Structure 1
Amino acid sequence: MFTSATHRAASAYKRVAVETSVQGADPHTLVGLLFDALLQSIAEARGAMVRGDTAVKGAALGKAVRILEEGLKAGLNLREGGEIAANLRDLYGYSTLRLTQANLRNDPAALEEVSKLIEPVAQSWKLIGGPGPAYLQPVAGRGA
């Protein structure tokens, strides 16, 4: 299938904009971008589920799980984060489980549940601004 020149140009512009925002971002901003991408992936999966587009649903949920596991969960500083970091680790683990179940069972309620669990955390992260408390910063040498 061929895509229009306009669509290809828009996709290229979007990739460049995302890459530029990531390259110049501090760790706090990077975590915010991860939350945004996570919620966007869940929404994309929800739409694909409604349309019956299994391939797009699977790709979107795969991306969401990678963001949770390789970005948000892996970036937690459990040594300094104490109970807050441990609770976030558990939340991300539970969210991964529910997204996997949503994919296997074609369950939009599970997608909604994860969105409702993650949205307040994402909003709170944005409200704290700046780099955030030291115990929420990633361990040196690990991604945000």
Structure 2
Amino acid sequence: MFGSVQSGANAYAKVGMETGVVAANPHKLIVMLFEGAQIALNNALQHMQAGNIPERGKALSKAIAIIENGLRASLDKTVGGELVLNLDSLYEYMNKQLLLANLQNKPEFIQEVQALLRDIQGAWEEIAPKSAPSAPAATLAEQTLSGAYDALAPTTPRLMKA
């Protein structure tokens, strides 16, 4: 009647992921695509080691879809110049390697794609837009609720603190 605990956990994870997507800026969305592809590739390797061919195929198909319909499709070939063309070719190569990994049961092909994705993701994270200065550790509301803030307590002016 109520479903399993696992289905509830999956639903909760899906809501969390959807909320992350809605709140993410375009740069973060690309990072999420890299992370999703890596998760799918890790799953594919696990299924390959376990001999679970159908699940291996599903995981590789998911990784290919993320690379093709997410990362590759997000490239703007009209303004990116040679870099974008090189990335486009690299994504195409990755997808071919993943197809071969599935057909030939070659984990080293998956591992090669994982390494390539890690390198590109690292470079992508290096060019992340700078975020706003970080907020104080605890907000005024949090301090008030925890009792750490007392509106009536005397305070020392900021310039006087050591």
TM-score range, shorter chain: 0.7 to 0.9
**1:13-56 Cα distance to aligned partner (Å, 9 max, x none):** 11111111011211111100000001111110000000011111
> 1:35 is aligned with what amino acid?
F
Structure 1 unaligned blocks of 5 or more: 132-144
Q: Are 2:76 and 1:77 aligned?
A: yes
- The aligned residue for residue 24 of structure 2 is 25
Task: Tell me, in whole angstroms, the C-alpha distance in 1 between the residues paired with 2:47 and 2:129.
Answer: 35
Q: TM-score, normalised to structure 1's length? A: 0.85
Work out the percentage of aligned pairs sharing the same amino acid. 36
SS of alignment partner, residue 78 of structure 2: helix
Displacement over 4 Å in runs of 4+:
none
Output aligned runs, 1:5-44, within 5 Å: 5-44=4-43
> 1:128 is aligned with what amino acid?
I
- Tell me the C-alpha RMSD between the 2 structures: 1.3
Task: Tell me, in whole angstroms, the C-alpha distance in 2 between the residues paired with 1:78 and 1:103.
Answer: 30
> 2:5 is aligned with what amino acid?
T
- The aligned residue for residue 118 of structure 2 is 119
Shift of 1:10: 1.2
Output aligned runs, 1:79-98, within 5 Å: 79-98=78-97
In the comparison of the two structures, how many residue pairs are matched? Answer: 128
SS of alignment partner, residue 79 of structure 1: coil
> 2:32 is aligned with what amino acid?
L
Structure 2 unaligned blocks of 5 or more: 131-162
> 1:48 is aligned with what amino acid?
H
Q: TM-score, normalised to structure 2's length? A: 0.76
Task: Tell me, in whole angstroms, the C-alpha distance in 2 between the residues paired with 1:112 and 1:11.
Answer: 27
